[in-house]
Structure 1
Amino acid sequence: METLPQLPQDIIVNILSRLPVKSLLQFKCVSKPWRSLISDPHFAKLQLTQSQRNGNFSSQRVLLITEPPESAACEASGDDDDSKLILKLEYPTAMKRTPDSDELMDGQVDLGGSCNGLVCLVFENDRVFLLNPTIRETKELAKLNAFDRMGTFSYGFGFDFSTNDYKVVRAARPSSEDDASSETEVEILELKSNIWRRIEGFKSGIEIEGPGIFLHGALHWLGEKESDGLEIVNVIVSFQLAEEKFQLMPLPDQIEESNDSRVLGVSGDCLCLFNGCGERYFEAWLLKDSNKSSWTRLFGVQRDLVPRHRYWEKALCYTKSGKVVIDYGGRCLVWYDPKEKTSKTYTSRSNWGWFDPAIYIESLISPNCYDA
């Protein structure tokens, strides 16, 4: 019996690197050589590069930090039922209350951001974990230094292309209004060294909130600063990971500077600004090149067309198919199509009854391949 010719290894690697992560995880069972290849950190980087080069929006998901955790596909269609839309996950043992428990460890959980399929989670402002929800691997980083625990904290997580290393950033603002040193203190950790170090912060009068969004070598937060006459205006605070420098980016010229219902999100590898104009209007803007600060308006709709618009909302991303994924108070996700004026809703059935959302992509990147 004639056997089929064997493809050269480099062609096999090239073909497999173009496949989605879900298929690759299944193909680990094909043979020991394939399992070894797909588990290799260099192959994981190659697959990630191919996915990013092809603009693979389908790998973008929302991690619902709840108990048990869930993962939702950003590119949802109106015909998808929950079994296709939602994946039920479980936390790795290191993040559980006890090794035999199914529950997440006690305490406050803050989102530190996501990058290349890794999600950064911070417990009680001192324990930091990196989690890849797709391959279900985790790594605990060095504990954070003690700051004023009554202060406010914002985090960011991204990749420094100049050093080929991941970095975690924490910005801490003291709680005391009487503190003469009201400058935001900033610490940074590089995964290869796993050591926290202090860097220059940013001046008083500027505040940021939430996890930073990593795009094109920089972290981005929506912030507030005092302008002339002590008026508070919105700005985007950008942090270049290679230079470790903060800078301010302007909002679109066509929108009001001050607004309480405004959030940053993503659309593929671009930054999105979702702007709620009071009780009447909801719009989205796209920033393709942060260096040029050139904004493009995506859409604008009347508020009464947006489902659940009376509840606290946080738009997370704008999908390739033209839908906005919106988190309503950590209770449900809505995929809203501003063109067709249609929506699809998913309500979490977790034990907690609420969730914190984090946008991430599916990848094979292990948080443990950057040990010192």
Structure 2
Amino acid sequence: MSKLPLDVISDIFLRLPVKTLVRFKCLSKPCCAVIDDRDFIRLHLYRSKKTKSNLGLILKALNLYTVDFDTLDTAVSIDHPFSFACGTEAFGSCNGLIALRNSEKCLALFNPSTKKLRKLPVSTIELPNDSSKSGYVFYGFGQDVISNDYKVVRMVQFYRIENDEEGSFFDYEVKVYSLNNNSWKKISNLPCYLRFLFLFFYHLLHRRGYGVLVSGVLHWVLPPRSETSGRNMIVGFDLGTEEFLQVPQAENTDENFLLDVGVLDGCLCMICNYNQFSVDILVMKEYGLKESWTWLLSVQKTTPADAVKFLRPLAYSKNLTKVLLEMDSQKLVWYDLEKKRMRTVKIDGAPDTFSAEIFVGSLIPLDDRDEKSKKQEEQGENNNTGGKQRDDFLSEGFRLVL
């Protein structure tokens, strides 16, 4: 190692799995410095996405599990310091970070590869008046690629304290947490249609409250209501501009379906469920372009007793001939795009019911800023007094440049 240039070592490290790199940080200070370098972390994540390596699945149930995507054989429980007796919800993942929730006042970001966790500061819910109460809460998590920031979105729906049978909800409170600033920001000038976002059976039955991240935008479905002309609507929140938008839908679909959204290989998906008899999945090849909606596959119930209750695409196979699907929150299946056949995937240790999400391992840091600044100050003092000891420790061919 001492005879290899740093750029060669860095190039080798870029090809290694995340778990191996975490162990290698203990080899020496030079190895640790290479692996902790911000540019190296960015390049390693970029390579993982490009080569589709370091991929896994998160199985979300009462507990959280990870499954290696290449094998899909065994579910391993995620051990994290944020675990809660009644279960911890994972409401999103992005670039190796998972957003966790125990309650509206207890949120955190966690990197299962590095075991680092950042608790979010508490942001109180501000009721619009004394006659209202907070109700259903929508969440979303993703990256703002413009500012290279990670953000959590919380949308709280309000309703009257007395019975509100017609569902005439007050405007939402929308707040955004910034990891870079470690603070919450309230969003104003909300669109009028947002007050009709929640529909009891639609969201509670299928847990559609978590935003789907595509192209730096979080997406939710506004279910058909008389106030919105009886049509489904895809609502987006741009993490860069922090504004809401409407996503154009495909026109060549029957309007009589229950809509859900998903993501497949970075593309937004429309999941159209026709009365639990069949499900069509369409993919938006170019984000925001209505004409780019493309039909992908259709799944129909096989017997009169069966029903396709829930379906979500997760990932393509390595050779792009199959799609991994989550069905009815109970199992995973490979769908062969050519033969139009399905094969069930058996995973040891998986919970009976779960929600699945694709995950890429990364070294994205979640260090506390105050603690990090303190360590840098201490390191600076040590460098001033112990420079010779450091140089003696490092070999001539593998010396850190500070």
SS at match of 1:38: helix
Residue of 78, 85, 88 corresponding to 2:76 = 88
Distance 1:334 1:299, change over 3 A: closer
Q: Distance in 1 between matches of 2:28 and 2:45?
A: 22
Given residue 203 of structure 1, which amino acid in structure 2 is its aligned partner? C
SS at match of 1:85: coil
Shift of 1:133: 2.2
Partner deviation per Cα, 1:330-363 (whole Å, 9 max, x = no partner)? 443333334331312336746x754343332111
SS at match of 1:35: helix
Q: Does 1:363 align with 2:342?
A: no
Shift of 1:279: 3.9
Given residue 194 of structure 1, which amino acid in structure 2 is its aligned partner? N
2:139/2:153 contact within 8 Å kept: yes
1:114/1:213 contact within 8 Å kept: no
Partner deviation per Cα, 1:174-229 (whole Å, 9 max, x = no partner)? 1334797622221111112222221023324541642112222221222235467x
Q: Does 1:207 align with 2:203?
A: no
1:272/1:318 contact within 8 Å kept: no
1:264/1:316 contact within 8 Å kept: no
Distance 1:130 1:282, change over 3 A: same
Shift of 1:7: 3.1
2:107/2:120 contact within 8 Å kept: yes
RMSD: 3.2
Which position in structure 1 is the counterpart of 2:150? 166
Q: Does 1:139 align with 2:118?
A: yes
Which position in structure 2 is the counterpart of 1:323? 322
Residue of 149, 159, 183 corresponding to 2:171 = 183
Which position in structure 1 is the counterpart of 2:383? none
Which position in structure 1 is the counterpart of 2:251? 253
Which position in structure 2 is the counterpart of 1:100? none
Q: Does 1:37 align with 2:34?
A: yes
Distance 1:5 1:162, change over 3 A: closer
Which position in structure 2 is the counterpart of 1:101? none
Partner deviation per Cα, 1:100-143 (whole Å, 9 max, x = no partner)? xxxxx134644432111111122122211112223332211112
Q: Which is richer in helix?
A: 2
TM-score normalised by the chain length of structure 1: 0.80
Given residue 342 of structure 2, which amino acid in structure 1 is its aligned partner? T
2:21/2:35 contact within 8 Å kept: yes
1:316/1:326 contact within 8 Å kept: yes
Which position in structure 1 is the counterpart of 2:334? 335
Q: Does 1:62 align with 2:46?
A: no
Q: Distance in 2 between matches of 1:255 and 1:362?
A: 37
Which position in structure 2 is the counterpart of 1:285? 282
Shift of 1:271: 1.5
Q: Distance in 1 between matches of 2:315 and 2:43?
A: 26
Shift of 1:329: 4.5
Moved more, 248-257 or 178-187: 178-187
Q: Which runs of 5+ in 1 are unaligned?
A: 97-104
Q: Distance in 2 between matches of 1:135 and 1:254?
A: 46
Q: Say how many residue pairs are matched.
A: 346
Given residue 332 of structure 2, which amino acid in structure 1 is its aligned partner? L
1:206/1:223 contact within 8 Å kept: yes
Q: Distance in 2 between matches of 1:216 and 1:170?
A: 19
Q: Distance in 2 between matches of 1:145 and 1:43?
A: 38
Identity %: 28
Moved more, 162-171 or 56-65: 56-65
Given residue 247 of structure 2, which amino acid in structure 1 is its aligned partner? M
1:62/1:73 contact within 8 Å kept: yes
Q: Distance in 2 between matches of 1:117 and 1:370?
A: 19
Shift of 1:162: 2.6
Q: Distance in 1 between matches of 2:262 and 2:369?
A: 28
2:159/2:169 contact within 8 Å kept: no
Q: Distance in 1 between matches of 2:87 and 2:233?
A: 28
Which position in structure 2 is the counterpart of 1:14? 11
Shift of 1:231: 4.0
SS at match of 2:91: strand
Distance 1:370 1:164, change over 3 A: farther
Shift of 1:168: 0.8
| Larger Rg, first or second structure (1 or 2) | 2
Q: Does 1:49 align with 2:46?
A: yes
Given residue 92 of structure 2, which amino acid in structure 1 is its aligned partner? G
Shift of 1:150: 5.1
Given residue 343 of structure 1, which amino acid in structure 2 is its aligned partner? R
Q: Distance in 1 between matches of 2:169 and 2:159?
A: 11
Q: Distance in 2 between matches of 1:322 and 1:202?
A: 41
Shift of 1:235: 1.6
SS at match of 1:272: strand
1:326/1:334 contact within 8 Å kept: yes
TM-score normalised by the chain length of structure 2: 0.75
